[in-house]
Structure 1
Amino acid sequence: MMNMRERYGPWALVAGASEGTGAAFARRLAAEGFDLILIARREAPLRDLADELRRNHGVACVTGSIDLSQADAADRMIALAGERDVGLLILNAGADPNGASFLDGALADWETLIARNVMTTMRACHRFAGPMRARGRGGIMLVGSGACYGGLPGISAYAGSKAFDLVFGEGLWAELKPFGVDVLNLILGRTDTPAHRELMERMGRPFPTDCASADDVAALGLARLPHGPICNWGLADDEGGYAGASAATRRARILQIAAAMAGQEA
């Protein structure tokens, strides 16, 4: 049995790493001995986190201030990675900072959200998954939201973007599984992050008392990465709950369809 660094290392790239769940992923990976490429818009928190991880764990850290809503974001991520052997890609950025219904928000804000959550996600997966497939190991984690399971008032564009990520991630899991590359949609409920607290404060709403901790979320995601394509926070693998169908049911359906398609091609 390979340990986590042997299976997914030596380098991990975490997008959205400056705070919350992204920083929690980075801390856990550094404790496992991963060298890290940390990406977010704000440079100062990234530098502070990188200094902390170097000091506490002796790992190498590279940071990049990249706006993931820009069309060149994935290209800049690849350029920052350079020749480093990235075996784990965690795409964690993607909250909804708008706090408005669709028509009450500016169209440009929704376009920014879609560019970050959909286009950059797809482009980054295309660029980083190729080398993983070629070497026969690696991992990709798409950090999503329970909003992916249905349209909701006030977050219609956000929910739609997360629905794309869910279905895209499922298909990518089926395509890469035969090559030893794991893909996981980590579907979160309400999580205690600075971005969530800021949004609730701006909207004048009390912060929920039943939120998951960022560290617990990161621990679950890394534990379930080999068992994709879905892990729903708060639900067992065979429990439907808010997702409607369980992760196990969706996994079995994908495998069944993939087997049927393979039979037709043969």
Structure 2
Amino acid sequence: MITGASEGTGQAFARRIAAEGLPSVLLARRLGPLTDLADSIRAETGVECVSASVDLASDDGAQQVIEAVGDREIGLYIANAGADPNGAHFLDVDVEPWLKLMRLNVLTMMQLCHHFGGAMRARRRGGLLLVNSGAAYGGSSFMAAYTGSKAFELCFGESLWAELRPYNVDVLNLVLGKTDTPAFRALLAKNGLPEPTDWATPQDVAEAGVTRLPHGPIHNQGQAADTVGDERRSRVLMIEEMSKSVFGEKAPD
């Protein structure tokens, strides 16, 4: 199941997953591009895709997804939706766009991880791939809500990785740097900025996500020597050991 699948990295993930012969559920707000993508994948690979229009930023966004999936078994949830279309100081716009951003990046994502992650834990197999951003590592005057939401996603994903490891469920924060996406292009154009020459392609991102999924909790896309990811993994494991003396060590069911 891929959210934000209509364009950019979401579309690349859909094609990369289909290349493995796996059917998928493609979700985004715009149904037209999703339908075109699903038709294209079926024609090129013979792999079945189901598409549905959902609004992940709405109060019932998670429920819309759950209803669209129905009784299908989801073996991999790729949380790919979550760009910041505002590109503004926090106090310069009404609070509602920021609340929508938090529902999209935090609340809906968390609800879906709980729903589908719970089923994966019971089956003792599956994966949660959280497409994150380098913005998770620190604040910025133009990205207060966005960096806060991505920092939550980072720590949340690390914690789920530690929690679900005993159940054979992979969790990965795929942390992106500059990436060629329609949302990023639109933001650059809005602010009259040139396009970077060194940004990653959506295909680069999809390949990294699929390849690095078993090696969580973090992969910083595009970095051959991922020292930051290695350091954070060691920190998660250290805190996990320390926490056992407080919360007790629970054996897998």
Query: What residue is the counterpart of 1:70 in the other structure?
Result: 58
Alpha carbons 2:219, 2:226 under 8 Å: kept: no
Equivalent residue, structure 2, for 1:261: 243
The answer to whether the Cα contact below 8 Å between 1:237 and 1:247 also exists between their aligned partners in 2 is no
Counterpart among 51, 62, 68 of residue 80 in structure 1: 68
CA contact (8 A) 1:74 1:127 kept: no
TM-score normalised by the chain length of structure 2: 0.95
Kindly state the Cα deviation for residue 234 of structure 1 after the two structures are TM-superposed: 2.5
Q: Which residue of 2 aligns with 1:17?
A: 5
How many pairs were matched up?
Answer: 248
Query: Does the Cα contact within 8 Å between 1:46 and 1:63 map onto a contact in 2?
Result: yes
- State the match for 1:101 in structure 2: 89
The alpha carbon displacement at 1:106 in A equals: 1.8
Matched to 1:161, the amino acid is S
User: Using the alignment, how far apart are the partners of 2:50 and 2:232 within structure 1?
Assistant: 37
Query: Residues of 2 paired with 1:75 and 1:168: CA distance?
Result: 21
TM-score of the aligned structures, taking structure 1 as reference length:
0.90
CA contact 2:62–2:111 (8 Å) conserved in 1:
yes
Alpha-carbon distance in structure 1 between the residues aligned to 2:84 and 2:134: 13
Distance 2:215 2:241 in 1: 18
Match of 2:75, SS state, is strand
Alpha-carbon shift at residue 160 of structure 1 (Å): 0.6
State the match for 1:133 in structure 2. 121
1:249 to 231, 240, 249: 231
Q: Name which of 129, 152, 166 aligns with 2:140.
A: 152
Q: Distance in 2 between matches of 1:101 and 1:168?
A: 25
Task: Tell me how far apart the structure 1 counterparts of residues 60 and 225 of structure 2 sit (CA, whole Å).
Answer: 37
Q: Is the 8 A contact 2:102 2:149 kept in 1?
A: yes
Structure 1 Cα separation of the partners of residues 104 and 161 of structure 2: 21
Q: In the alignment, which residue of structure 1 is the partner of 2:174?
A: 186
Alignment of 1:106-125 (within 5 A): 106-125=94-113
Q: Tell me, in whole angstroms, the C-alpha distance in 2 between the residues paired with 1:91 and 1:237.
A: 25
2:49 to 32, 44, 61: 61
Partner residue, 2:196: 208
Shift of 1:194: 1.2
Q: Partner letter of residue 189 of structure 2? A: E
Please give the secondary structure, in 2, of the residue aligned with 1:37. Answer: strand
Letter paired with 1:155: M
